[in-house]
Amino acid sequence: MEKAINRQRVLLDHLRPSPSPHNFESTLSASACLAGDSAANQRTSAFGDDVVIVAAYRTPLCKSKRGGFKDTHADDLLAPVLKALIEKTNVDPREVGDIVVGSVLAPGSQRASECRMAAFYAGFPETVPIRTVNRQCSSGLQAVADVAASIKAGFYEIGIGAGLESMTINPMAWDGDVNPKVEDFQKAQDCLLPMGVTSENVAHCFGVTRQEQDQVAVDSHRKAAAATASGRFKDEIIPVPTKIVDPKTGGVLPIVISVDDGIRPNTSLTELGKLKPLFKKDGTTTAGNSSQVSDGAGAVLLMKRSVAMRKGLPILGVFRTFTAVGVDPAIMGVGPAVAIPAAVKAAGLDLEDIDLFEINEAFASQFVYCRKKLELDSQKINVNGGAMAMGHPLGATGARCVATLLHEMKRRGRDCRFGVVSMCIGTGMGAAAVFERGDGCDELCNGRKVKSNNLLSKDSR
């Protein structure tokens, strides 16, 4: 955008009248287009070159080890959302150029095999490739961004970005020894800090109180409970047929999970105030104001706009930009406060242009800090609750947030044009992506369609 403005200034300098004895000031001036150069984005959409999302779904999120998915294999979580993308859009699965799945905790080769198996369960042929990606808590969002980048690069025209995590099957743990070299590098040592300790560091460094943290946790449960009761999650959740095994008798009960099971509608400040800190004796981070350990999956179907138009598919959203940044590992929760402005600027926008935010609630401390640092309107953030209420299945969270954001933007219509998904990332990073509602591009009022390219050189035809 800055380069474009500079070019415009140079042009205007050539157009200015020559100095006269009357010293009249020129009325010519350069300025940035509103809403991130809407005209340029409208041109891109007119040619069908931008990347759009036509479907985004998720499973319910369930409490690890004691929730509805405690006896469900990881591949049986991913398969239903992959299948839903194809069945609900009638896209031929043979046309999918790649499936990228964000996942964090499982051994890489095992999870890669499970994802391949899930694709077969979902009806994809052997010709469709699949791979995994791990950028910890942003893995699901990274998967979506990787697919969008590949479509933009011309590698394929249709792809799926997904996320998967079973924290029941694969709990957080360090496997093997730690390199003793870490003792000589403070930043490397900080990469090994428990996430709850980094939450305490954020609260201490930036003065986030226990009262503030407990309040946003109560708000998260309240909003998620209201969204569930009013059916706002129905468009994004795919019910999952599975089973529950009785640990005492071994009996198997077939069930269908269709709602998030970690939401506590009656959560109160009084109740949360009774919980003891988990990571520091006089700390403020508790089980009640932290994200829940969960199981779940999500998937997003992306394609080139021209392909979506040719197939007659409604466009749920437009992928605009993605940014990942590095921050101090000891306060890794500040990641969104750095990543969001970078992604918004890359989209040619200002923070004031963003109508809706999905910021992962890894911990209340970091969520409160990021909201304050960016001076965001609390009415625009996590309007249907977040990870403190629904859960944070690490690799799946990014895809879940994209689904939640885009369906809410669709519900709000023209009052909601731009949205952001963001999260902090263990070891000190942050990620953010900007999306536009599917029908959000402004119409050009002074453009005309070029019916032929006779004025172009023969080499460019």
DSSP letters for 176-217? SPPPGGGGG-HHHHHTTS-HHHHHHHHHHHHT--HHHHHHHH
pLDDT tens for each residue of 383-405: 999 999 999 999 999 999 999 99
Residue type present at position 109:
S
Where do the structural domains in the chain lie, given as residue ranges? 50-168+186-437
191 is annotated as an active-site residue: no
Residue among 300, 269, 305 nearest 47 (CA): 305
Contact 396, 297 (CB under 8 A): yes
- The pLDDT, as a whole number, for residue 25 is 45
- 448 C-beta neighbours (distance < 10 Å), count: 6
Chain centroid offset of residue 251 CA: 38
Could you give the C-alpha distances from 34 to 11, 40, 111, 349, in angstroms and in order? 20, 11, 44, 8
List 370, 416, 424, 441, catalytic entry: 424
Give the model confidence (pLDDT) of 70-124 as tens digits. Answer: 999 999 999 999 999 999 999 999 999 999 999 999 999 999 999 999 999 999 9
Task: Give the integer Cα–Cα distance in Å for 449 and 160.
Answer: 32
The confidence score (pLDDT) of residue 24 equals 42
**What is the model's pLDDT at position 439?**
75
* Residue 131 near residue 98, CB atoms below 8 Å: yes
pLDDT for position 49: 84
Annotated catalytic residue: which of 392, 401, 416, 441?
A: 392
Q: Is residue 392 flagged as an active site residue?
A: yes
pLDDT by residue for the chain (461 residues), tens only, comes to 566 666 666 666 666 655 544 444 444 444 444 455 555 565 566 667 899 999 999 999 999 999 999 999 999 999 999 999 999 999 999 999 999 999 999 999 999 999 999 999 999 999 999 999 999 999 999 999 999 999 999 999 999 999 999 999 999 888 889 999 999 999 999 999 999 999 999 999 999 999 999 999 999 999 999 999 999 999 999 999 999 999 889 999 999 999 999 999 999 999 999 999 999 999 999 999 999 999 999 999 999 999 999 999 999 999 999 999 999 999 999 999 999 999 999 999 999 999 999 999 999 999 999 999 999 999 999 999 999 999 999 999 999 999 999 999 999 998 899 999 999 999 999 999 999 998 765 554 444 444 555 555 555 45
Fold of 50-168+186-437: Peroxisomal Thiolase; Chain A, domain 1 (3.40.47)
Q: What is the pLDDT of residue 176?
A: 87
Task: Judge whether 205 counts as a catalytic residue.
Answer: no
**pLDDT recorded at residue 30:** 46
Residue 32's pLDDT is 46
> For residue 305, which phi and psi values (nearest 5 degrees)?
-55, -40
pLDDT of residue 445: 44
132 strand-pairing partners: 101
- Whole-prediction pTM value? 0.87
pLDDT for residue 33: 46
What percentage of the chain's residues is helix, strand, coil (to nearest 5)? 40, 20, 40
Catalytic choice (137, 401, 416, 441) = 137
One-letter amino acid at 453 equals N
Residues sharing a CB contact under 8 Å with residue 318, sequence separation 6 or more, in sequence order: 41, 45, 50, 51, 52, 53, 305, 435, 436, 437, 438, 440, 441
Question: DSSP class of residue 239?
Answer: P
Unique residue bearing structure tokens 């403070």: 186
